[in-house]
Structure formats: structure tokens, C-alpha cells
């Protein structure tokens, strides 16, 4: 009897024991980083691109006082929208969500934003004709033991002749760079951290609509547009930021989210001057010229994707994934080619150069069916001056150095400051936005 | 199928004939993996657009089987295989997310009874190799979705203590507790499943603390009476 009682009690104890520790131990760990936020200071965000907007959104959600200063007249940064060109809205800047295992993939699902997989077919313009397959497989830029040389040099080393120059230019153009500057080694190293997924998605509306409706709309009251920052004095405990109109902003923390070109060119005066390793790091991060030219035709004579053009290495059917009947072809021009087209001086000349190339490819059909064009030249935008950051030869750990905060006062965000393989992307910019808010809250927790 | 069944019966008979003890466990498993916790905490903090937080991956169930060799002393040794399953699931409007972690351990066991005859308790020192698969799944699911999954490996040292209750001469029931530690579990892609990033919140691996409480049923060839 004694044993039977013991067996019964032990069994009950054990069954109860299966439940109790979970309840007990759950109370030991929180499922959020900052269960309570008690920061009474003010944060100033410079730049209303996606990084700045996302940082502001998180600050607002945590009840932290902040303001965003934006140099241009619009928020969104390099995410923009044009509704008047075609019967569907076009993306002036960032257009594809690269993989959806990322923060914006979650936001898209949550908001029921309509996207579609972009699996457009690819044609190469090679040796004066359009082909579906290249004679030699040029998938050579991934693997082990890669040298720190440019894509173009590496292709030459691997025996790819001049005929492949513009195909290589297309591959580099995807990275927003000229093939003569993009590093094979460092690009590959950063790619190892890519965790977002391999698919590309397009928006039925635009990328801007997602950012505007889901993030920017929540913090519009805290945005000050047309405000160009001139000076940041972080020599005292209170940081004093001055804009070009002479307005002063006294804050405790500053998050700088401007494009890397603005930092490289020294548009913002820092007092004291930034450490030399920081300035060196900025100078090592690449950002080439870039433009998107939208060409509208009255019929579709072109393929979904064309790679290897001498004027524009990449063309893409912009109507793919959109609800509309208009025929719009996008010329995605990066690096040296964007510099050459910018040098032509005006939109008409740029359009003519592209039409001439398309006429060669499609036997004069481009000019014959052309209706209108829109040139979005990010290189001549005074607050952007290029496409997006890339990894040049010899970059080393510059991106990590550039992204480090200074004295727990000045923080850096934006796609160029993403050190986790998601640079050049919109979701990568958003990641740096929340990363720096976490860094700020960690700094005041000390 | 017939061959499989016959092979299984033969194998079990063989094991039984050579074993001092064959044991099956079932228990609740608690997991603490600081780097993974940090990734989930970051996920929750960075996504205020989700109504509910993703719970930490900390509660699971495990089952295991072990095989102890004959021994003439209080101490014996053996091998074991265990499977643990942890799940963290959250429902949000338009976005349900679940994290599913499977851990498989192959173990070497040093088994010590408090006495050769009529032992009341036993203690195990268990050294295991651990392999894991971590999967993130999302509802509504689309076949076009990017996959998020990670695999990892590590080694664990665990201690286990059990109280022996004889049900009959050869069958025993043992409530037990165990505590395990994985100094470094290498899983470079885990953060991609937990926070959809890599290297932003955590290093390429984590340490792990596991605690388990459960019941073991064992059968030994020799009667302990």
C-alpha cells in the first residue's frame, strides 16, 4: 500500500512538473528587448528616407521625442512614385523587394499589400543579336578564393573576351556599380550574409505606397521638409544642429541617414571634425551614378529583360506585375553608362541615345512606336547624387567603421550603413533604422 | 514490411539480450539560448506593426531512448538517442508566424545507481552531439515565399538524476530531472529564421542551457530484486 501511494504521488508530481517549470521559467525572460523605455531626451533624424522613417516610426512607438529633417520636398528618399506617366504608377527609385524573408516582407503580408514574383525572362544582346543563352556561362563571381579585383578584371582573367563586357556591366549594374570598380571578393563576402531570399517581387502599386501608408503616414507630423542640415556640433553634452536657414535644433542624439555621397562630399560640417578613420571609411564606400529612364511605346515589341546593351546594360519591361495597359520599358542605367548619359546634358538626348540602341536591337521599332519618356536621374539629384552604395575594390572593413556611432551621440543609418549583407536594399535601410534606435536605447540604459 | 518487422523484432531481442537496461523517456524541456532569445526580442521590438510578440523558443517536449550495457558494478554505460521539439507560435491579423525547432541528440551515457541491489536513485552523465533544424513558417503561406530555415550542430554535457520506482521485478518507472549545457551551438543561419537578418543581433552560434523533467520507463533483463 505504501508503495502504491508513493507511485501515485510520484506520478502526479511528475505530471504537474511538466507544466509548472514552464510557467515559472517564462516569468524569468522577457520577449522584448526593452520592456520599459524611459528616455526623456530628444532624437533628431537627418533624412526622411526609409532608414530615417523607420527609426522615427520606432521612436514614436516607444514614446520618444524626435524630429526628422529632410532636405528635399518629399519623404521617401530613393523610394519614389510617379502616377502621371502611365496608366499604372511607376517606381522612380527602388522598385523590387529582394526576397521576402525580411522586415518589409512581414509588413507587406501584414498590410495585405499586393506584390508578385518577378520571374521575367532574360535575353542577352550579344554580338549584335538577341540570344537566350550565352556561349560561355558567366556565373563566375561566386565561390571561394576570389581575388579583390573588379568584376571586369576578373572576367578578363577568366578568359571572357570584350564581347562579354556589357553582360558583366549588367551584373555589376544590379549592384549599382560600374563593373570596373565593384570588388569580386568583398561583394562575395557580403553576399554570404544575405538572408532575405533569392526571389524578386514587384508591387502592384509602388514601393513608395507601402512605405508611405505603413510607416511615413504615422510620423508625418514630426517631419520637417526642405530643411538642409549645415552643421552638427556635438562638442557639448547637448548636440546643436544648424540648418542652412540658420535654425538651431538642440537634441541629445542624432541619427544620420543621408546617402553616403553626402557624407563623402562633406556637405555636413561636424564640430569637432569626425575622426579620420571615419572619414576614410566614408571615402572607401562606393556609390556610382544611376538613373532610371521610362520609355512609353504604343505597342510591345521588346523582351521582358534585355541584358548587355552598350548604352544601357539593362532594360526591363516595367509593366510586369502592374495593372495597366500601357507599354513601358525601363532602362536601368548604372555606373559608367549613367555617367555617359548624364554627360549628354538633357533628357531628350538621353532618350534619343536609348531609342537608338533599341532600334538597333529591334529593327527600328523603338522610334516608330515611341510615345514619351521620363528620366529619373538620381545622379543629378542634389540630395542623393547616385544610385546606391556598392563594394569597391579595397573596401576592407570600411562599412563597419562607417556605421559605428560616435560618442553615443551621433548614429549612422541608411542602406550604405547596413553591415549585414542587406546594403543597397530598402529592407536593409529599414534594418539600420531600427538597429540605431536599439543602439540609442542601449546607450541610455548604461 | 515483413522483413522490416522481423528485423526490428530481431534487433530489439538482440538489444534486450545484451542490455542491462533499455529506457524510454518522455519529458518537458526548457531551453535557454541567449543569442536566439536576443534575435527574437529584436524581432519583437523592431516590428511594432505586429499586435503580438513572438514568444521565445523555450518550451518543448522531448522523447528519448537509451540502451545501457551489462555491468557487474553500480556503474554502467550506454548510448542514447533523443528528439526534442520546441515551438513558438503567434497569431497576428494577416500574419501568423511559427518557429519550429527540432533537436536530435546522440549520446554516450555513464550511468550510476546508488546501489547494485535495490537502488533508489540513479545519476547519468551524458555527453551528446546535437543537431538541429530551425524553420520559420508563415500564414498565409505563398509558394513564392522565400524560405527561412537553419541548421546547426554542437555538443552537450548533461547530468540527469532519477528516482527509481519498481513496478515489477524488471520494469521501473523513474521521475527524473536533467540539466544540460551546450557551450557553443554553431548555427550561422538561425538569425535569418528568428529576425530575418544575419549578424545584426547575434553571433554565428549560441550557448544553450536545457532543463528537462519527465518520466522514464525502463526494463532490465536482470531483476533488481
pLDDT in tens, A251-264: 999 999 999 999 99
Cα B53 from Cα A67, distance rounded (Å): 27
Helix (H) or strand (E) holding A443: helix A426-445
Contact A101 B146 (CB under 8 A): yes
Check residue A293 and give its pLDDT. 98
User: Which residue, among A74, A287, A304, A38, has the nearest Cα to A182 in the 3D structure?
Assistant: A287
pLDDT exceeds 50 at position B117: yes
Query: Which among A14, A199, A421 has the least Cβ separation from residue B175?
Result: A14
Contact B173 A7 (CB under 8 A): yes
- pLDDT tier at A2 (50, 70, 90 boundaries)? low
- pTM, entire model: 0.91
pLDDT exceeds 80 at position B78: yes
- pLDDT tier at A362 (50, 70, 90 boundaries)? very high
Residue of B nearest to A34 (CA): B45
Does the beta carbon of A438 lie under 8 angstroms from any beta carbon of chain B? yes
Mean pLDDT within A379-383: 97
The Cα of B42 is separated from the nearest Cα of chain A by a number of Å equal to 6
Cα A50 from Cα A434, distance rounded (Å): 11
Contact A31 B54 (CB under 8 A): yes
Please indicate whether residue A440 or residue A23 has the higher confidence score (pLDDT). Answer: A440
Mean pLDDT within B124-132: 98
Give the pLDDT confidence of A394-446 residue by residue, as tens digits.
999 999 999 999 999 999 999 999 999 999 999 999 999 999 999 999 999 86
Residue-wise over A174-208: b if at least 16 C-beta within 10 A, else e?
bbbbbbbbbbbbbbbebeebbbbbebbbbbebbbb
Looking up cell 556561349 gives A135
Mean pLDDT within B143-157: 92
Contact A10 B175 (CB under 8 A): yes
Cell of A261: 555621397
In this structure, are residues B212 and B174 in contact, taking their beta carbons and an 8 Å threshold? no
Contact list, A6 vs chain B (CB under 8 Å): 165
Looking up cell 498590410 gives A111
> ω into residue A372 within 30 of 0, thus cis?
no
Check residue A272 and give its pLDDT. 98
- pLDDT tier at B13 (50, 70, 90 boundaries)? low
User: Which residue, among A384, A207, A383, A373, has the nearest Cα to A289 in the 3D structure?
Assistant: A384
CB pairs under 8 A between A and B: 145
- pLDDT tier at B17 (50, 70, 90 boundaries)? low
Contact A25 B200 (CB under 8 A): no
Mutate to test the interface with A, among B55, B187, B200, B210 (most CBs of A within 10 A): B200
Give the pLDDT confidence of A59-83 residue by residue, as tens digits.
999 999 999 999 999 999 999 999 9
Contact list, A434 vs chain B (CB under 8 Å): 42, 45-46
Cα B115 from Cα B137, distance rounded (Å): 49
Q: Where are the alpha helices (DSSP H) in B135-215?
A: 190-194
Query: Which among B146, B166, B199 has the least Cβ separation from residue A199?
Result: B146
Q: Residue A146: how many CA atoms within 13 Å on its side-chain side? A: 23
Contact A13 B175 (CB under 8 A): yes
Exposure of A282 by Cβ count < 10 A (0-12 exposed, 13-18 middle, 19+ buried)? buried
In this structure, are residues A361 and A74 in contact, taking their beta carbons and an 8 Å threshold? no
Contact B146 A105 (CB under 8 A): yes
- pLDDT tier at A1 (50, 70, 90 boundaries)? very low
Contact B46 A57 (CB under 8 A): no
Contact B136 A7 (CB under 8 A): no
- pLDDT tier at B12 (50, 70, 90 boundaries)? low
In this structure, are residues B220 and B172 in contact, taking their beta carbons and an 8 Å threshold? yes
Q: Virtual CA dihedral for B153, B159, B161, B162, nearest 10 degrees?
A: 30
Contact list, B41 vs chain A (CB under 8 Å): 30-33
Contact A195 B191 (CB under 8 A): yes
Query: Which among A17, A57, A201 has the least Cβ separation from residue B213?
Result: A17
Contact list, B164 vs chain A (CB under 8 Å): none
Residue of A nearest to B211 (CA): A21
Give the pLDDT confidence of A222-238 residue by residue, as tens digits.
999 999 999 999 999 99
- pLDDT tier at A35 (50, 70, 90 boundaries)? confident
Cα B38 from Cα B34, distance rounded (Å): 6
The Cα of A437 is separated from the nearest Cα of chain B by a number of Å equal to 9
Check residue B68 and give its pLDDT. 93
The Cα of B10 is separated from the nearest Cα of chain A by a number of Å equal to 33
Does the beta carbon of A124 lie under 8 angstroms from any beta carbon of chain B? no
Give the pLDDT confidence of A303-337 residue by residue, as tens digits.
999 999 999 999 999 999 999 999 999 999 999 99
Least confident of A2-16, A20-34, B102-116, B166-180: A2-16
How far apart, in Å, are the Cα atoms of B56 and each of A118, A258, A413, A421, B11?
34, 35, 28, 25, 40
Contact A196 B146 (CB under 8 A): yes
Cell of B20: 542491462
Contact B41 A31 (CB under 8 A): yes
- pLDDT tier at A13 (50, 70, 90 boundaries)? very low
Please, which residues bridge with residue B28 across strands? B61, B213
Average pLDDT across chain A, whole number: 93
Helix (H) or strand (E) holding A125: strand A122-126
Cα A97 from Cα A197, distance rounded (Å): 10
Contact list, B191 vs chain A (CB under 8 Å): 195
Amino acid at each position: 500500500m505504501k508503495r502504491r501511494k508513493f507511485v501515485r504521488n510520484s506520478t502526479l508530481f511528475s505530471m504537474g512538473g511538466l507544466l509548472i517549470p514552464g510557467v515559472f521559467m517564462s516569468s524569468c525572460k522577457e520577449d522584448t528587448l526593452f520592456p520599459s523605455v524611459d528616455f526623456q531626451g530628444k532624437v533628431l533624424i537627418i533624412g526622411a528616407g526609409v532608414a530615417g522613417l523607420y527609426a522615427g516610426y520606432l521612436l514614436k512607438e516607444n514614446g520618444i521625442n524626435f524630429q526628422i529633417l529632410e532636405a528635399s520636398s518629399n519623404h521617401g528618399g530613393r523610394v519614389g512614385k510617379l502616377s502621371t506617366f502611365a496608366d499604372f504608377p511607376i517606381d522612380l527609385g527602388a522598385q523590387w523587394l529582394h526576397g521576402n524573408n525580411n522586415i518589409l516582407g512581414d509588413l507587406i503580408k501584414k498590410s495585405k499589400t499586393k506584390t508578385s514574383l518577378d520571374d521575367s525572362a532574360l535575353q542577352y544582346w550579344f554580338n549584335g543579336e538577341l540570344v537566350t543563352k550565352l556561349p560561355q556561362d558567366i556565373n563566375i563571381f561566386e565561390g571561394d578564393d576570389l581575388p579583390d579585383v573588379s568584376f571586369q578584371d576578373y572576367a578578363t582573367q577568366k578568359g571572357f573576351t570584350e564581347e562579354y563586357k556589357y553582360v558583366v556591366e549588367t551584373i555589376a549594374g544590379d549592384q549599382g556599380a560600374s563593373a570596373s570598380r565593384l570588388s569580386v571578393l568583398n561583394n562575395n563576402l557580403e553576399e554570404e550574409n544575405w538572408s532575405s531570399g533569392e526571389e524578386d517581387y514587384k508591387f502592384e502599386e509602388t514601393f513608395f505606397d507601402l512605405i508611405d501608408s505603413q510607416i511615413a503616414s504615422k510620423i508625418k507630423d514630426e517631419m520637417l521638409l526642405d530643411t538642409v542640415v549645415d552643421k552638427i556640433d556635438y562638442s557639448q553634452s547637448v548636440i546643436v544642429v544648424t540648418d542652412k536657414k540658420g535654425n538651431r535644433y538642440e537634441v541629445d542624439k542624432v541619427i544620420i541617414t543621408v546617402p553616403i555621397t553626402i557624407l563623402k562630399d562633406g556637405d555636413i560640417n561636424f564640430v569637432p571634425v569626425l575622426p579620420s578613420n571615419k572619414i576614410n571609411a566614408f571615402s572607401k564606400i562606393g556609390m556610382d551614378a544611376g538613373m532610371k529612364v521610362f520609355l512609353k511605346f504604343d505597342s510591345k515589341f521588346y523582351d521582358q529583360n534585355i541584358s548587355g546593351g552598350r548604352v544601357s546594360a539593362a532594360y526591363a519591361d516595367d509593366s510586369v506585375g502592374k495593372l495597366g495597359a500601357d507599354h513601358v520599358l525601363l532602362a536601368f542605367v548604372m555606373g559608367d553608362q549613367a555617367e555617359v548619359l548624364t554627360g549628354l546634358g538633357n533628357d531628350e538626348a538621353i532618350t534619343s541615345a536609348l531609342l537608338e540602341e533599341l532600334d538597333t536591337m529591334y529593327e527600328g521599332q523603338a522610334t516608330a512606336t515611341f510615345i514619351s519618356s521620363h528620366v529619373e536621374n538620381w545622379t543629378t539629384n542634389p540630395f542623393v547624387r547616385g544610385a546606391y552604395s556598392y563594394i569597391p575594390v579595397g573596401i576592407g572593413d570600411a562599412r563597419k567603421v562607417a556605421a559605428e556611432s560616435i560618442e553615443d551621440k551621433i548614429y549612422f543609418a541608411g542602406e550604405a550603413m547596413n553591415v549585414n549583407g542587406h546594403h543597397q536594399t530598402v529592407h536593409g535601410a529599414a534594418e539600420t533604422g531600427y538597429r540605431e534606435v536599439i543602439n540609442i536605447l542601449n546607450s541610455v540604459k548604461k | 514490411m515483413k522483413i522490416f518487422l522481423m528485423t526490428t523484432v530481431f534487433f530489439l531481442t538482440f538489444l534486450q539480450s545484451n542490455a542491462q537496461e533499455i529506457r524510454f523517456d518522455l519529458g518537458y524541456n526548457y531551453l535557454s539560448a541567449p543569442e536566439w532569445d536576443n534575435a527574437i526580442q529584436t524581432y519583437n521590438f523592431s516590428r511594432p506593426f505586429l499586435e503580438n510578440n513572438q514568444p521565445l523558443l523555450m518550451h518543448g517536449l522531448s522523447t528519448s531512448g537509451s540502451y545501457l550495457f551489462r555491468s557487474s558494478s553500480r556503474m554502467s554505460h550506454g548510448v542514447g538517442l533523443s528528439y526534442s521539439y520546441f515551438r513558438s507560435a503567434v497569431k497576428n491579423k494577416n500574419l501568423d508566424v511559427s518557429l519550429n525547432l527540432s533537436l536530435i541528440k546522440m549520446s554516450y551515457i555513464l550511468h550510476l545507481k546508488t546501489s547494485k541491489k535495490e537502488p533508489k536513485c540513479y545519476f547519468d552523465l551524458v555527453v551528446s552531439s546535437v543537431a538541429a533544424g530551425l524553420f520559420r513558417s508563415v500564414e498565409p503561406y505563398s509558394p513564392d515565399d522565400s524560405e527561412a530555415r537553419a541548421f546547426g550542430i554542437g555538443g552537450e554535457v548533461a547530468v540527469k538524476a532519477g528516482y527509481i520506482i519498481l513496478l515489477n521485478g524488471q520494469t521501473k518507472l523513474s521521475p527524473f530531472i536533467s540539466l544540460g549545457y551546450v557551450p557553443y551551438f554553431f548555427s550561422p543561419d538561425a538569425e535569418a529564421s528568428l529576425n530575418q537578418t544575419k549578424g545584426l543581433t547575434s553571433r554565428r552560434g549560441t550557448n544553450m542551457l536545457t532543463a528537462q523533467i519527465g518520466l522514464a520507463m525502463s526494463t532490465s533483463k536482470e531483476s533488481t530484486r
